[in-house]
Chain A
Amino acid sequence: MIEHIAAIVVMLPIISSVFVMLIRNNSVNWLISTTASLITSIASIMMYFQISKNGNISYAMGGWEPPVGIEYRIDEFNALFIILISIASFLILLYARHSLVGELKENKISTFYSMYLLCLGGLIGILSTGDAFNAFVFLEISSLATYILISMGSDRRALLSAYQYLIMGTIGATLYVIGVGLIFVLTGSLNLHDISIRIQELELYRPLYASLAFITVGIALKVALFPLHAWLPNAYAYAPSVGTAFLSSTATKVAIYLLIKYLFLVYGYDVVYSNKIFVFVIIGLSILAMFGASLVAIFQSNLKKLFAYSSVAQIGYITLGIGIANHNGLIGSTVHIINHSIIKAAIFLAIGCIVFKTKISDTHELAGLGKKMPVIAILLTISSLSLVGIPGTVGFISKWYLIIGALEQGWWLVVLSLAISSLLALIYVGRVIELMWFHQPEDAINVNSKSLPVEMLAITFILTLATVYFGIDTRLTAGLAEIAVHNVLLGGQ
């Protein structure tokens, strides 16, 4: 059993999603989904221990040996992300049961669970697979499931946002496949590990860079790297709260992983970073994302969109670390992927609680919330502050690594932009906090009498606590990220 563990973590959510689709009883389906994601989480943790004991796992799917067959290749780097997204999905599913009842029609809920699991399976697939084309397949699986998840939002604009994402996502996937095709022509292989070896022997650089450009842009669409982010704010704003929390803490993060994997494990540092234009573009776009998206967030009046734009800005931080590309910069990126997942899950779940009670969608409707829902308001305040990077929270840890990384490169301007973008984050977060605590509502907030279910509150609380806990004890975040970066990305140097 244990030797098939790499396949189990991918197949279990996908197979369960089929059952969930067939059963169509909401409570049973919730139970199946939660159990499936719990088992996946446990299995992924077991897998991590196995890797740290016995070294990387290379699993030949269906017994077809690589490079001909599809290889699943798990190292400390992607194992870490599998743990992250499976645990995040598990926690969000625990939260989902009551939240979905409030936001979706009764007969849609089973579909939601099914698509949720399918998306989870697809994402873990992208993380585990060592095959360029198989990654594309999983990318499509997860994307298709995502389109459905988004379109299920109660607002009619959800349909439009899903369609917008569908178009953009398909363009991205197409570009990705073109890139993969170019690599295949150049190297004659689809196995990523195999490609990375054959690339060393290549002498033709122009097509190689062309493939790099296609793949980077294709994935950047999924990452929502500025200026390819247009789909994200709408998608986040109109998806059901649970869906938003899930997407923001997993989907974009997995796409970023894929980008890092291509840059460091397939093309290799020397090929990518000898190209100064690439470095300039990625750093430039990251900084534009940090400024541009934060500025939009400052003037944003839709609550979920505000935090969606903040996500675009935070993704800028992550890609900035990729651009810095030294030891500390990469740890900064990796740890910010983890930290941002936790922060955004906490924030969107808190918003989910607010929506559950009040049905508000605009920021100005938050006025006076501190009195009506003090606990949720406190939780949202703490998690928003960690978005700014207040010390003692996770946001600070990522920022610290990025600053040190940029300083090691001697890039003062980058340090300055990091600092200024924290200031911008402070402004939009400060607006939300001030509205909640110090403004009187124009007309009384319509708080319904449904009491907030315990698990919704508990999960929000746990995630908010995590934003503080991992800001102080970073063994599980920065510690593991450091191992991953050191052993995998930089090849143990």
Chain B
Amino acid sequence: MIEYLIYFPILIPLITAIAIKLSWPIKITRKLILYFGPILTLACSIYIYNKFDKLNSNFDIINIFDNITISLGIEPISMVFLIMVNTLWLVATAYSLGYMISNNEKRLGNFFLFFSISISCANGAALSSNLITLFIFYELLTISTYPLVTHKGDEQSKASGRKYLLILLGTSLCFFLPAIGYVYHLSGGLEFVDQGLLFTNLLPDQINNLEISILLILFVFGISKAAVMPFHSWLPAAMVAPTPVSALLHAVAVVKVGVFSIIKILVYTFGIELLHGLNIVDLLVYICGFTIIATSIIALKQDNLKRLLAYSTISQLSYVIIAILILTPSAIIAATMHLIAHAVSKITLFFAAGAIYTSTGFTNISEMNGIGKNLKVVCFAFTLGAMSLIGLPILVGFTSKWYIVQSAASDSQWIILSIITISTLLNIGYFTPIIYKFFFTQKNANKKFKDLPLTINFAILSCCILMVILFLYPTLIIEVIKNVQ
């Protein structure tokens, strides 16, 4: 029985998707299904987490050819990622219901259909136990989120959708797929192996630093969901989607599948020891550092709140990559921790931005004078999220930044340390004016505020609570990640 459990996180969202679409005309059942799906998936994920020891092996679903199989498996990083995605899915479902109905968005049935399918793909990517399975779910995730980006159906969203598809599919077909082929050519396999497939399979004299460097570059740029410059421009473009999509997919599921894939490939395909001392790693650190600082500077100038958050996301994704590029065991913990921390904080920020839009119709920061007096909860949550990303204590962002700084310092990576310092200053630079505007400026007296649905407030509050809980109990994550060999 327990062997089959591993399929559930993929199947339940898929069934949920179909059930929602079919039962859409009936109000009561659709709500039931909408909540039932995430709860069941989350329960399953937690159950798998508890039975972790027994499941520590791979399950082949089908052998495509030779020794290339679609197979699922569990290891610590994927476990953490899986639980994160499904927890936030539950929260985001509550939020989307409130948001979509308050804003009179059309074609809700389709919206939730593709929303659930995307989650199914993200879970599949989390559970992949070899490169080809990861690649399949990675591509399916792109395709299933495309209808969500173009949900509005106007010219702008079509143009963004085109960009989205072209960059994400294009880079993965041009770089990611040849890289997978080359790994197969080098090692004769594609599985994720402890200590790294290439590290364990190749004899020392077979290792050619140039080849490894090219492969690393192909992977990092091929996985453009991680939005390393110059393949980042799809992310701000994708912000035309409704806010719940931006929140769950473009702050959590899609982009996180990107960095998650990079972490997994670095740890389980290359093996971090293989990469020690390669010049290319330094080059990548510079590229990511440049991405972090450049996008933060761009964020400083943004007036549209969602675009600002998008640029901030790009810079935070590169944080995760820089963290893993420290290439020590503690770096794995730091990177995963930051992956989670950013997910929770950024979804809070997006939820808040969406709530502000729902209540006031504002999308630009310059309009948001003094809204803190009316939207206390929302603006408070936004402040917490921003503080977390800046890295202030009692919030999870502090923990992750602490780990990154600690592992960088213990490995004497001064460049990384200085990049982080500069970017923290920039973070403060672009978040504080917004918070100031919320609370300390005069509001427009005539402005009417719409009441927010209960679900939106509930979702925002639960995110805030999550941020604090994860600060208080970081061991929840660290104890799991420590098991990575």
Please determine whether B139 and A415 come into contact, CB atoms closer than 8 angstroms.
no
Please determine whether A419 and B165 come into contact, CB atoms closer than 8 angstroms.
no
Q: How far is the CA of A392 from the CA of B70 in the complex (A)?
A: 10
CB distance from A102 to the nearest CB of B (A): 32
Which A residue's beta carbon lies closest to that of B173?
Answer: A422
14 A-B contacts (beta carbon < 8 Å): A390-B140, A390-B143, A391-B132, A391-B136, A391-B139, A392-B136, A400-B68, A403-B178, A403-B181, A416-B178, A420-B174, A422-B173, A430-B162, A472-B70
- Chain B 131-159, CB-CB to A under 8 Å as 1, else 0, gives 01001100110010001001001000010
Which A residue's beta carbon lies closest to that of B186?
Answer: A407
Instruction: State which residues 64-84 of B face A: CB under 8 Å.
Output: 64-65, 68, 70
Partner of B181, one of A407, A420, A427, A472: A407
- Chain A 40-57, CB-CB to B under 8 Å as 1, else 0, gives 000000000000000000
Is B166 an interface residue, CB under 8 A from the partner? yes
CB-CB under 8 A for A388 and B177, given A407-B185, A434-B158, A472-B70: no
CB-CB under 8 A for A438 and B150, given A392-B136, A422-B173, A427-B166: yes
Residues of A within 8 A of B65 (CB): 397, 474, 478-479, 482
Please determine whether A430 and B165 come into contact, CB atoms closer than 8 angstroms.
yes
- Chain A 406-446, CB-CB to B under 8 Å as 1, else 0, gives 01100000011011101100110010001001110000000
Residues of B within 8 A of A416 (CB): 174, 178
Please determine whether B181 and A426 come into contact, CB atoms closer than 8 angstroms.
no
Q: Of residues B139, B143, B173, B177, which shows the largest number of chain A Cβ atoms within 10 Å of its Cβ?
A: B173
Given A391-B132, A438-B153, A438-B158, 8 more pairs with CB closer than 8 A? A391-B135, A400-B177, A407-B185, A419-B174, A423-B166, A423-B170, A434-B161, A479-B65
Instruction: State which residues 23-64 of B face A: CB under 8 Å.
Output: 62, 64
Is B235 an interface residue, CB under 8 A from the partner? no
Main secondary structure of the interface of B (DSSP, over half): helix
Residues of B within 8 A of A155 (CB): none
Is A329 an interface residue, CB under 8 A from the partner? no
Please determine whether B143 and A385 come into contact, CB atoms closer than 8 angstroms.
yes
Q: How far is the CA of A399 from the CA of B139 in the complex (A)?
A: 15
Please determine whether A400 and B181 come into contact, CB atoms closer than 8 angstroms.
yes
Please determine whether B173 and A434 come into contact, CB atoms closer than 8 angstroms.
no
Q: How far is the CA of A437 from the CA of B107 in the complex (A)?
A: 14
Residues of A within 8 A of B174 (CB): 416, 419-420, 422-423
Q: How far is the CA of A115 from the CA of B136 in the complex (A)?
A: 42
Please determine whether B181 and A415 come into contact, CB atoms closer than 8 angstroms.
yes
Is A404 an interface residue, CB under 8 A from the partner? yes
Q: How far is the CA of A385 from the CA of B170 in the complex (A)?
A: 13
Main secondary structure of the interface of A (DSSP, over half): helix
Please determine whether A390 and B166 come into contact, CB atoms closer than 8 angstroms.
no
CB distance from B179 to the nearest CB of A (A): 10
Partner of B162, one of A390, A434, A479: A434
Residues of A within 8 A of B165 (CB): 426, 430
Q: Which residues of A contact B (CB under 8 A)?
A: 385, 388-392, 397, 399-400, 403-404, 407-408, 415-416, 418-420, 422-423, 426-427, 430, 434, 437-439, 472-474, 478-479, 482
Please determine whether A404 and B181 come into contact, CB atoms closer than 8 angstroms.
yes
Partner of B140, one of A388, A392, A407, A415: A392
Please determine whether A473 and B181 come into contact, CB atoms closer than 8 angstroms.
no
Please determine whether B64 and A404 come into contact, CB atoms closer than 8 angstroms.
no
Which B residue's beta carbon lies closest to that of A415?
Answer: B178
Residues of A within 8 A of B169 (CB): 388, 390, 426
Instruction: State which residues 178-210 of B face A: CB under 8 Å.
Output: 178, 181-182, 184-185
Q: How far is the CA of A416 from the CA of B175 in the complex (A)?
A: 8
Residues of B within 8 A of A422 (CB): 173-174, 177
Please determine whether A390 and B153 come into contact, CB atoms closer than 8 angstroms.
no
Please determine whether B173 and A408 come into contact, CB atoms closer than 8 angstroms.
no
Q: How far is the CA of A482 from the CA of B64 in the complex (A)?
A: 13
Q: How far is the CA of A350 from the CA of B140 in the complex (A)?
A: 23
CB distance from B8 to the nearest CB of A (A): 20
CB distance from A147 to the nearest CB of B (A): 38
Please determine whether A397 and B64 come into contact, CB atoms closer than 8 angstroms.
yes
Which B residue's beta carbon lies closest to that of A482?
Answer: B65
Residues of A within 8 A of B153 (CB): 438
CB distance from B261 to the nearest CB of A (A): 14
Residues of B within 8 A of A472 (CB): 62, 64, 70
- Chain B 386-409, CB-CB to A under 8 Å as 1, else 0, gives 000000000000000000000000
Q: How far is the CA of A420 from the CA of B178 in the complex (A)?
A: 11
Please determine whether A388 and B64 come into contact, CB atoms closer than 8 angstroms.
no
CB distance from A420 to the nearest CB of B (A): 6
Which B residue's beta carbon lies closest to that of A474?
Answer: B65
Residues of B within 8 A of A397 (CB): 64-65
Which A residue's beta carbon lies closest to that of B138?
Answer: A391
Which A residue's beta carbon lies closest to that of B142?
Answer: A390
Please determine whether A419 and B173 come into contact, CB atoms closer than 8 angstroms.
yes
Residues of A within 8 A of B62 (CB): 472-473
Q: How far is the CA of A418 from the CA of B153 in the complex (A)?
A: 33
Residues of B within 8 A of A439 (CB): 158
Please determine whether A430 and B166 come into contact, CB atoms closer than 8 angstroms.
yes
CB distance from B157 to the nearest CB of A (A): 8
CB distance from B172 to the nearest CB of A (A): 9
Q: How far is the CA of A426 from the CA of B70 in the complex (A)?
A: 24
Q: How far is the CA of A474 from the CA of B62 in the complex (A)?
A: 10
Residues of A within 8 A of B68 (CB): 400
Q: How far is the CA of A426 from the CA of B164 in the complex (A)?
A: 12
Please determine whether B139 and A403 come into contact, CB atoms closer than 8 angstroms.
no
Please determine whether A399 and B136 come into contact, CB atoms closer than 8 angstroms.
no
Residues of A within 8 A of B170 (CB): 423, 426
